[in-house]
Every structure is written in structure tokens, then in C-alpha cells.
Chains A and B, each alone.
Chain A
Amino acid sequence: MPDKKTIWTKKDLLGLEYLSKEEIELILYTAESFKEVTTRQIKKVPALRGKTVMNLFYEPSTRTRTSFELAAKRLSADVVNIEIEASSVKKGETLIDTGRNIEALKIDIIVVRHSASGAPNILARNVKSRVVNAGDGWHEHPTQALLDMFTLKSKLGRIEGLKVSIIGDIAHSRVARSNIWGLTKLGALVTVCAPPLLIPDGIERMGVKVTGDINEALADADAINVLRMQFERDGALAFPSKLEYFKQYGITAERLKQCKKDIVIMHPGPINRGVEMSSEVADGRNSVILEQVTNGIAVRMAVLYLVSYAKDPAPSKETMRVGEGGAG
């Protein structure tokens, strides 16, 4: 349970980098009670009755959008979904204009997914509506990391002191970044493992151990978070073939033999079976992949609830321009 004195004061949830340990714990704690709601016969509470949530998605995403939509609906909020094709962004209305129009529609919370890193920060700076980041570029995917941590905590009882390895395309992964911030703040020991070209510059300064050796990443790990490999972009240059990747980095039953017996295996989905992990592992006893999906709703309910009730929040530093806040 988090410190009783912790109250939520932030207007937005833009990334876990910007949260304190206590704020992260508060979200996880709040999610516990909403988890219970999702197991009831009638899965609905009136917490956000009369509020409107807009899912503003500049990138196609069925699972995250559905999860946010269900979370909002189970809190009795009204939900509107908008999908904007990324290709039309540059020619069409600007993000800020879109945000102001949404604000004029009296939307309380904007859940935004965008292919450009920092788009939620820019949006948050320009609207009074609360902004929740549902994934931006390679930057952050805070609710995914929160649901990963929630799942981990419910499986192993704690986060502090756990050894967690994040395996896969770290360079292009917002899931990796949010997990690193969240896990390290809560005291986990994080290792990232990827082919050398998929390890971004200076990642060790985020407080993680770096390795290219899958066996090192698996040895002693209490949990692993296996990322989706996307060969269709830079990954194609960084790694020659799917089969080769599976051989060198894929999680197989054989490799699991050297691991802790109760190692928790997570994946943000969708899985490439036979690329990041074998089907046997994905469907095996250590996999919590479907529990992650269920927990996602409770965690997103907690986030929507908390940002919605923050009173007169001050603008956060992560959205400020250079001259603001006394720089210079």
C-alpha cells in the first residue's frame, strides 16, 4: 500500500519518467480495487459518470484502444473513438488545433496514441483536458508498463529487488522505456538484452544493465518481458532474419530449463509466435500474457480515475518550453 499522504496532483499521465515512486504505487494500489470491479457480475461503477473520454488514435491499435474503451465504460464515462491516419497528419489539421477542437467539445480526458514521440507532451501543453499517453513513438507507453508491473506484483508479491530482463528491440520500444523507468523507480534490478544495434545510446544511464547475451539475461531472472520484434522497420537492418533472431534470442522451452522454475514471462502483444518465443512458451505455465490483458483494464481504470480527479493541477515540467520555469 502506498504512503497515505500521496495524492494524485498531475493533470496528465505522459510517461513513467515523470512520476515518483509513490505516484506509481498509488496507481497500482488504486488498480487493485478496480480489478475487483472487473470480476463482478455487473462490471461497472459510477466513478466517471458524466465525464467524456476521447480515444484519439493516430496509429492503428485494436488492443490498447479496446482496453481504454472498456476501462472508461466500466467507470461509466462516455467514450468517443477517433482514428486519424498518420499519413494525413502533415497535410491536415495540426495536433494542437485538433486538441483545441476536442477541448471545445468539452471532452474531459484525451487518450492519445501517436507515432511521433512527445506528441502527448505537446498536446498536454496546449489543452486543459487531461491527457493520457497510450503510446508515443519510441518514447513511452506508461499504461502498458503499469499493467506489466501490476501483473508482476500480483504474481510475485513485490517489485522491489526483483530481477527483470527486458528482451528484444529496446531501441524502438516505448514499452521498454516505460518499464525501465517504472521498474527501476520501484527498486527492481533491470537488465536489457538485444542485438547490439538494437541497444540505444546511453541506455545504461537509465539505470539498467545491458547485455547482448540471452543466457545472461535469463539466468537468475525472476521475470522477463519479451518485446515484439518488428522486422518491417529498422529491425530489418539490424537483424538479418526472423529465424536467425529466434535462434539467438527466442525464448524456448529448452532455454527456460536454465531459468528459475517460476519465472514470470510477459509480452505486450501481439506475439510473433516462433520469433520472440515458441508457442510452447507463450501458452506455457510461466506465461502471464493473458492476465496482462485482463489487468490492463483495471490499471487504465485507475489512471483515468486519478487524472480525472486531480484538482487544479499545475503544468508539469515535461511539457514546458525552454524559457519557462526560470531557465537561463
Chain B
Amino acid sequence: MSKSYLIKGGRVIDPLNKRDGILDIFISGGRIEAIGKDLGQRADETIDGKGRIVAPGLVDMHVHLREPGREDEETVLTGSRAAVRGGFTSVLCMPNTDPAIDNPAAAKSLKAIITKDAACSVLIAGAATLARAGGKLTDFERLKKEGVIAVSDDGSPIQNKDIMREALEHAKTAGLILIEHCEDLGLSSGGVMNKGFISTKAGLKGISTKSEYEAIGRNLELAKKLDARIHIAHVSCGESVDLIRKAKRAGVKVTAETAPHYFVLTDECCAAYDTNTKMNPPLRTKKDVAAIRAGLADGTIDAIASDHAPHTDAEKDVEFDYAPFGITGLETMLSLAVTELVEKSVLSWSELILKLSANPAAILGLERGSLKEGGPADVTIIDPDKKYVFRKDSIESKSKNSPFIDWELKGKATDVFVNGKHVMKDELIL
């Protein structure tokens, strides 16, 4: 029998149920039993929520946990612990593992690892095409039977328009969301950072915003024609935000995410050749950062996702040209969003929780993202005022490739409940 918990006197923010106030939450049997003022239930453990925010469990819909194949970078165990540390109760792991999750057996064996090792809910995205090669579609229906909830060739954008059309059609039929990393490789190949003044100055090959927004444009047009859903991964530039905004107004079934680095950092960070500023899409300009923030504020961008991409020091401590793309993000995402979006009045707390919980849960079709009586007890407690310096030796992820090491941040998850299980207490993973 699982323990019962009473979270007392926290500021409960549940945007989906339009709740924002000082309330108690009673958790028992893995479910939320009651939400209300001054609850009288007797619990095995009472948690003082005073001064803290009690939110529906956070959902990161874009992470790379590297298992199977690159267990030196991350595993389901270490990655899900990093997720819990960051305040997340559910994460969606991308299928670009080795081998890729492109068949039911691969999904099944990953599921077995998750059942054994995961510290939170780890959900599986399957590859959209075999070996993520962009040629032949995978079997969406059978992947779904093995628990796959989304399809994506993340990292290897689908170049062929006919394949993209087929993928959208089949995803629609199978009832899966297609998540697309939009990039025209013909325009971006060989690039290592944003194309512009800084790449010119640094002598590095550029990746234009055009390589992103032209691919988005093409995919939005297809989604519109087919009346199919599409989710655009890691939006990085202003032109992309504009296209998605227009498409939404025109009724296209599109949703979009961005990652914290796209609303915090610019390509100027690449000028000293720190390989922890190398990611794809690349860091853009101040103008783009402003556009991403505006897109978050007006709802064009539905979700914030980390694109947590662990790489070992050995892989990253090389010449900028030779380093792999990607940074870790699970443990800094919430704090960066609080520091840069809530503190700077880009988003209210309620809007932030929508983008970190309710919206990604809805996009993925999860029964998550809200706090309702009788619902699963995925709860994240946040200390909104906690100031701390993000230190390398505090990192839970197996990899330490973060550009935010030694940054002073504000706002931190202190407690996490996954299906009623207290998995992090006072910043300690249990």
C-alpha cells in the first residue's frame, strides 16, 4: 500500500482547471484524492507547501536518453533522474538511439528498460522511417501497440516531400502525433552555427534561418492539405514563429515547441568556440530571441521542451567543427524559464505551467497536465524564490554538456510525485 500525502498551504496553480490559490492536496493510492481549502484528511506524511507553487507534474516532450546504444552519454536511469531533479514527471524520449526505435521489438525492449530503471514516466517516440533514413515508413500501428505515443525522425529531418506526406497521413490514421525537426539539409549541410555576422567573424560555416523556416513552410502546407496534425520541434527563429502563427490562424493543426536556449542565448555565445553553444538548430540572434519570447507570450509556441542531448566531455572537448550538436537541459529548463520568462514578465506562472505541463500533455494525448480529484498524482512542487548557482558537480545527468554551468538561476523544483510516489523530497531524489 502506497503512502498518503497531504501538501498543505501551497499556491496550487492548475491552468487547465483555472485554479490558482492557496489550497491543500491530498494524495493517496497514487491518485489525487482531494483538492481544497484546509483539508482535514490524515496523511502518512504532511508537506508544508507554504511559499511554494504546487503544479501538475511537468512534462518534457523532447529528450534524448541515449539508451540503447550510447549508455556512456546517458541511460534511462540517469536521464530520468535528471528529469526528476528538474521537476519533470513525464518525458518523451526521442528514437535516435542505436539501433533506432523503428520496430515493435525495439520499442518493447526499451519499455522493459524503462519499467526496470525509470525514476519518472518515460514515454517513447518511435522513428517515422526505418533507421530514421527518411525512406520507408515504419509500422505506426504496431509501434503504437507497443506503447509508442509519437513518431519522429528527430535529428534527421524528412527531406522527401512524398515521404513526409505519407508520414502525416499514416500518423493521422494511427492517431499518433508526428513531431518534425524541420530543416532543409540542402541549405544547412556542413554548418555548425547560425549564419550571420558572428559566423563570419568566427570563420565558422553557417546554418541559415532559411534552412529551418522553408522546411517548416513546406510541412505546414502539407499538414494543411491533409488536414493532419503536426508538431514542430525546437523552433529557433523569428521567421518560423511567424509562419506557425499564420498557420494557426488559418486553422492548420499545428503545435510547436521551443527550448530554453532559444529564448536565453544568442549566437554571440559561439564566438569563443565553446562547444556547449553548438546545437541544432543553432543559437540565433537577439531579434530571434525576442521573436521566440513573443511567440511564447501570444501562444504561437505551445510548449517548452529541453531537447536534452547528453554528450560526454570527451566528445565535446574538441574543435568546434568536430563537436556533436546538443546540450543537456532537463535540470536547467524550469529555472531558466522562471528566471528569463516569469521574472521578466514574458509569461505569468499560470502560462508557464501551461507550456511546461498541460500543453505538452495535451499534444501527446496524455492523461496528465492537470490536478484533478481522482486523477493520477503527478505533482511538482516549486520554490519560486530559490536562488542558486547551477554547479557542474550537482548535475544528475551522466553528461555535463551545459552552457549554463555556474549561472545564477531562480526557481527550482523541490518535490516531485510520480503516480503518487514521492520521488524527490526537498531536492533529494528518493
With A318-B271, A322-B265 as contacts: A328 and B407 at CB distance below 8 Å? yes
- What is the total number of residues of chain B having a CB less than 8 Å from a CB of chain A? 33
Contact of A136 among B203, B314, B317 (CB under 8 A): B203
**Residues of chain A lying within 8 A (CB to CB) of residue B199:** 200-201
Give the residues in chain A near B367, CB-CB below 8 Å.
none
Closest chain B CB from A257 CB (angstroms): 34
Interface residue A327 (Cβ < 8 Å from any Cβ of B): yes
**In chain A, residues 102-155, which have Cβ atoms closer than 8 Å to a Cβ of chain B?**
114, 116-119, 121-122, 136-140
A99 to B403, CA, bound (A): 23
Tell me the bound Cα distance from A239 to B316 in angstroms.
Answer: 35
| A residues near B406, Cβ cutoff 8 Å | 323-324, 328
CB distance from B25 to the nearest CB of A (A): 34
Residue pairs across A and B with CB atoms within 8 Å: the count is 100
CB-based nearest A residue for B271: A318
Bound complex: CA A121 to CA B272 (Å): 7
| A202 engages B321 (CB within 8 Å) | no
A residues with CB within 8 A of B = 17, 89-90, 94-96, 114, 116-119, 121-122, 136-140, 171, 174, 177, 200-203, 205-206, 317-324, 327-328
Tell me which residues across on chain B come within 8 A of A17, comparing CB atoms.
201
Give the nearest-CB partner of B277 in chain A: A322
Give the distance to chain B from A143, nearest Cβ to Cβ, in Å. 16
Residues of B at the A interface (CB closer than 8 Å) are 195-204, 206, 265, 269, 271-274, 276-277, 314, 317-322, 403-409
Residues of B close to A174: CB separation below 8 A: 203
Q: How far is the CA of A140 from the CA of B201 in the complex (A)?
A: 9
Contact call A94/B202, Cβ cutoff below 8 A: no
User: In whole angstroms, how far apart are the Cα atoms of A322 and B266 in the complex?
Assistant: 11
Interface centre among A118, A201, A320 (most CB of B within 10 A): A118
Bound CA–CA A96/B322 (angstroms):
13
Q: A117-B321, A122-B319, A328-B404 are in contact. Are A140 and B272 (CB under 8 A)?
A: no
A320 touching B272, Cβ below 8 Å? yes
Using Cβ atoms and an 8 Å threshold, which residues of chain B touch A201? 195-197, 199-200, 206
From B197, which residue of chain A is reached at the shortest CB distance?
Answer: A202
Q: In the complex, which residues of chain A have a beta carbon less than 8 angstroms from the beta carbon of B204?
A: 117-118, 137-139
Known contacts A322-B277, A323-B405; decide if A137 and B206 are in contact (CB<8 Å): no
Asked whether, in the complex, the Cβ of B276 is within 8 Å of the Cβ of A327, the reply is no
**Chain B residues near A119 (CB, 8 Å)?**
319
Complex Cα distance, B314 from A95, in Å, reads: 11
Query: Is B272 within 8 A of A321, CB to CB?
Result: yes
- Whether B200 contacts A117 by the Cβ 8 Å rule is no
User: What is the distance, in angstroms, from B318's C-beta to the closest C-beta of chain A?
Assistant: 6
Q: For the complex formed, measure the closest distance between the CB of B205 and the CB atoms of chain A, giving whole angstroms.
A: 8
A318 touches B321 (CB 8 A): no
Asked whether B407 lies within 8 Å of A95 as measured between CB atoms, the reply is no
CA distance A202 to B201 in the complex (A): 9
Contact assessment for A319 and B272 in the assembled complex, using a CB-CB cutoff below 8 Å: yes
A118-B319, A323-B407 given; 5 more Cβ-contact pairs under 8 Å: A95-B319, A122-B273, A122-B318, A137-B204, A137-B321
Contact residue among B206, B274, B319, B322 (Cβ-Cβ distance under 8 Å from A321):
B274
A181, closest chain B residue (CB): B201
- Chain A residues with Cβ below 8 Å from B407 are 323, 327-328
Q: List 14 A-B contacts (CB under 8 A).
A: A89-B322, A117-B203, A118-B204, A118-B272, A121-B273, A137-B204, A171-B200, A201-B200, A201-B206, A202-B196, A202-B198, A319-B272, A321-B403, A328-B409
Q: Say whether, besides A90-B322, A323-B407, A328-B407, A96 and B317 are in contact (CB < 8 Å).
A: yes
Q: How far is the CB of B327 from chain A (nearest CB, A)?
A: 10
Is B274's CB under 8 angstroms from A322's CB?
A: yes
A177–B201 CB distance below 8 A: yes
The docked-state distance in angstroms from the alpha carbon of A191 to that of B201 is 16
